[in-house]
Amino acid sequence: MARVAIVTGGSGGIGQASALKLARDGMAVVVHYGGNRDVADETVKAITEDGGKAIAVQADITEPASVAAMFDQAEQEYGGVDVIVHTAGVMNQPTPLVDVDFDTLDRVHRINIRGTFAVAQQAARRVRDGGAIVFFSTSVLGLNLPGYTVYNATKGAAEAITMILAKELRGRDVTVNTVAPGPTATKLFLDGKDEETISRLANQAPLERLGQPEDIAEAVAFLGGPARWVNGQVMRVNGGIA
């Protein structure tokens, strides 16, 4: 029986690349989207045309009942859930702490922390034994760059959830890990940045390029598939930046 994966934020960027990769690896994929059904349908179409299985499911990740309903649909369609890949999140424009607007703080924290917690709670309750849970952080967390207090605080929370949940699931044979990408050519990363900034960030890595969503998807597939002895870890996938 094929393993079943839910990929939040699966309609674009790293989430879409992860959904496509997991499907190519033989998993049935639930492609979650927040508001853009058309892009989610495109991802599903790409998977099914390649011979895979996928459905698109809408959910508000900040609302526990909506997340639970997404898991319900996955179980009804495919019989259970084995892998959770939680890529959905937001990033604010880098801003010094003294200038942070609290509406921005609340919005980013609600999506990135409350959303992660809601997904984590359902995953902990419902992922089948032998499964895998993959959260997302950022390599920026290790660089402590000025202006990133809001975003880094939310990703620090994701890493904390990872470490503790891995221990709380003792005896279940369920792994819990986090992927922490470096600069990656996604809409989330590129929005609001000029060419000079993008070039400077790309050249931070010894490989002298931005990561591609497919680079990150390779790490996701490893943690969601064969990496059964990797647990409670943060994998920094950044081309060697830090």
Specify whether 151 is catalytic: yes
Per-residue exposure over 198-219, b if at least 16 CB sit within 10 Å of its own CB, e if not: eeebbebbeeeebbebebbbeb
Kindly report, residue by residue over 148-168, the tens digit of the pLDDT: 999 999 999 999 999 999 999
Which residues 6+ apart lie within 8 Å of 171 measured at CB? none
Count H helices and E strands in the chain, helices first.
Answer: 10, 7
Domains of the chain and CATH, by start:
4-237 (3.40.50.720)
Higher pLDDT, 120 or 211: 120
Of the residues 33, 78, 148, 151, only one is catalytic, namely 151
pLDDT at 196 over 90: no
Using CA atoms, how far apart are residues 158 and 118, in angstroms rounded to an integer? 12
DSSP 200: H
Distance of CA 241 to CAs 13, 47, 106, 158, Å?
A: 21, 32, 30, 20
Name the token pair of 62. 């900040």
pLDDT in tens, 11-65: 889 999 999 999 999 999 999 999 889 999 999 999 999 999 999 999 999 999 9
